[in-house]
Amino acid sequence: MSTTTVGSHGAAGAQMSVSQFIDTYVFSRDHKIIGLQFLFSTLLWFLVGGLLALGIRWQLAWPWSDMPVIGRMLFHTEGGQIAPEFYTMLFTMHATVMIFFVIIPILAGAFGNYLIPLMIGADDMAFPTLNMLSYWFMWPAFICIGSSFFLPGNGAASGWTSYPPLSAVWEAAPGSGMAQTMWLLGITFVGVSSMMGSVNYMTTIIQMRAPGMTMFRLPLTIWGMFITAVLQAFALPVLTAAGFMQLTDRVLGTGFFLPEGLIVNNNDMASGGGQPLLWQHLFWFYSHPAVYIMILPAMGMVSDIISCFARKPVFGYKPMVYSISGIAGLGFIVWGHHMFVSGMNPMLGMTFMVSTMMIALPSAVKVFNWLGTIWGGKISFTTPMLFALSFVSMFIIGGLSGIFMAATPVDIFIHDTYFIVAHFHYVLFGGTAMAVFGAIYFWFPKMFGRMMNEPWGQVHFFLTFVFLNGTFYLMHILGAVGFPRRLADPYDYQTFAHLQPMNQFITICAIGMVASQFIFAVNFIYSMFYGTPCGRNPWGANSLEWAAPSPPGHGNFDFQPIVYRGPYEYGSPEVETENYPQWQPPPDKPGDGGAGQDNPEKKA
């Protein structure tokens, strides 16, 4: 182990030359710096995505009305109002940013990078240069998609699902010509970046575990990351290929997704012979597994946090691992549930219904095991724990609403309504985003050597939790009325005219939710510099990252960690202490000196 380099980059920062600085912080090959780069970039995009969402909410609450303060700045030509084509761009970009620039890269890119080597006891990733590239390949994507905001016209506007022909034919969406092409390129770059990450994570987890770290001693976070990497490796090529096909349809005049005889905007289309549904199959073949890419790491992190603060082993570790794997396996045969009313053969709809129902099973097993974990524990209600528990509570709602949509006849009615919007916000915001907040509060001390402010963390949790439910819960009710998604002004329909007050309530909650995040932002930035300094293991946790200094220096560990047991031995009768870290030698086997540094606290 490279003990000599520990802490060197932090202290030497002041006298660094420019090129050293660039090596260390810009084109760094250190997984921790890369993880932080991902973290900061994605948090900034989180802000962008949140503001885009407020634009959507504004229009739904007070359609075609002057947006206060920023309206005039954004759309001076329309007198401060949102134009319909701008609205289409808003929800397209909101989803694109949140999915491709926030959720996926913050889980795999930020936490995957930061935690994998530390938690398995490695000094870095298997391929540090590839790792660096996986971050820097996000930048062309940022530029492509960011630039589409400024290109003439209105930005990409065929939804994050980019269904052809709307997305593939220039004439179908005249305002978004170049932007739509840039959008496709951007998604391709994200795919390349994820692919590099994926290969790296798999190799690292398989090859670089510390002595004694068997697969079944891996923390569930690592299992989540590992299976996610596998999912990406298998699913991404399909998206990339489909993206290129759509790109050639757009710019080279091929007709993969365009049928014969299209007449768009009074123009006869020359190309043809393709099938619009083919895109949907390819897209969802990637994007259904992708929704698990967006939650499995979060499930892992939540398991670690819950076990740590319930002071009790994870209930059913192996069933947890099997359900993660089961979700991943089944995840490849359910994509058709997004296409029940798309015109796909209804016979196929039946098989996809059965497989989709089955995928709710491992999700249920996980929920029961989380409940089992806190049962009989000693729960301390810290901020990370609150966020982790809210993940469970919110994921239950999102998982159960999935069953409605998996039921094909019911989906006929609720497909493309706000019921769907409620579903995926419960899993993605109530689930993943809450888990990510929990994870940030939990691992912040490791990343920066300081604690985040606890009372303000709890305020942030409280407000987010309340506003989140205020925003998304009622969307189930909207969906039950049939309220369609992606509609700039639904109130001219007699069926939906009376739903405006409910939408106004939702918008007010959404504004509250975005506003509450500023508490988090201030807490985060303030604590980076002025938070209470902490030792290696402030939470009294068990997994290996807590054996390293906070923050860990280059090469991570200042001793060779050896793993003696699983990561969840809290409350073990074998020791006096509440925790029993993975690296602590058993009492009858004297240690190697490096173990259990400024830790563990004694049992009360």
Partner 1 sequence: MGRLWSLLFLLVPVLGTLVFVLAMADIGPLYKHWLPLNANSHGGIIDSLFLFILGLTGVIFVGTGVALFWFMWKYDEQRNREPVKFSHGSHTLEVVWSILPAATLVFIAIFQMDAWANAKMKRPLVSPGADGVEGTLDDIFQPPLVEVVGRQFEWRIRYAGKDGVIGTEDDVHTVNTLFLPVNEEIVIEVTSMDVLHSFFLPNMRVKQDLVPGMKQLVWFKPVKTGVFDLVCAELCGWGHYKMRGRMIVGTRAEFDEWLEDLRQQQNQTILTSR
* Residues binding Cu ion (CB under 5 A): 288
Interaction of residue 75 with partner 1, rule CB under 8 A: no
Interaction of residue 406 with ligand HEM, rule CB under 6 A: yes
The CB-nearest residue to ligand HEM is 402
Which residue of 415, 423, 446, 536 would you call a contact of partner 1, by CB under 8 A?
415
Q: Are the C-beta atoms of 371 and 418 separated by less than 8 Å?
A: no
Integer Cα distance of 485 and 92 in angstroms: 12
DSSP 228: H
Whichever of 211 and 343 has its CB closer to partner 1, that residue is 343
The CB-nearest residue to Cu ion is 288
Integer Cα distance of 599 and 455 in angstroms: 24
Integer Cα distance of 437 and 520 in angstroms: 9
Q: How far is the CB of 409 from partner 1 (least distance, A)?
A: 4
Which residue of 90, 144, 295, 451 would you call a contact of ligand HEM, by CB under 6 A?
295
Residue from 531, 254, 299 nearest 399 by CA: 299
Residue 396, contacted partner among partner 1, Cu ion, ligand HEM, none, CB below 5-8 A by kind: partner 1
Between β-strands 267-268 and 263-264, what pairing exists: parallel, antiparallel or unpaired?
antiparallel
Interaction of residue 184 with ligand HEM, rule CB under 6 A: no
Residues 461-480 that bind partner 1 (CB under 8 A): 462, 465, 469, 473-474, 476-478, 480
**Which positions from 89 to 128 touch partner 1 by CB under 8 A, shown as an x/- string?**
----------------------------------------
Tokens of 327: 């979700």
Q: Are the C-beta atoms of 559 and 35 separated by less than 8 Å?
A: no
Q: How far is the CB of 412 from ligand HEM (least distance, A)?
A: 9
The one segment of 31-39, 71-79, 158-166, 545-553 that binds partner 1 by CB under 8 A:
158-166
How many whole angstroms from its chain centre is CA 456? 24
Interaction of residue 411 with ligand HEM, rule CB under 6 A: yes
Residue from 275, 282, 217, 215 nearest 249 by CA: 275
Tokens of 69: 């303060």
Integer Cα distance of 240 and 363 in angstroms: 28
Using CB under 6 A as the binding criterion, the count of chain residues that bind ligand HEM stands at 23
The one segment of 45-53, 140-148, 379-387, 592-600 that binds partner 1 by CB under 8 A:
379-387
Residues 291-350 that bind partner 1 (CB under 8 A): 310-319, 341-343, 346-347, 349-350
Output Rg (C-alpha) for the chain, integer angstroms: 24
Question: CA 174 → CA 157, 177, 267, distances in Å?
Answer: 10, 6, 12
177-207 vs 113-120: helix crossing angle, rounded to 10:
0
Q: How far is the CB of 133 from partner 1 (least distance, A)?
A: 35
Q: How far is the CB of 337 from Cu ion (least distance, A)?
A: 6
Q: How far is the CB of 382 from partner 1 (least distance, A)?
A: 10
The string of DSSP codes covering 251-291 is HT---SS--TT-EETTEE-S--S--HHHHHHHHHHHHHHHH
Q: Mapping DSSP to helix (H, G, I), strand (E, B) and coil, where does residue 395 land? A: helix
**Which positions from 230 to 269 touch partner 1 by CB under 8 A, shown as an x/- string?**
-----------------------------xxxxxxx----
Interaction of residue 405 with ligand HEM, rule CB under 6 A: yes
Residues 323-342 that bind ligand HEM (CB under 6 A): 337-338
Q: Which residues here bind ligand HEM, judged by CB under 6 A?
A: 161, 291, 294-295, 337-338, 356, 359-360, 363, 399, 402-403, 405-406, 411, 415, 420, 423-424, 427-428, 432
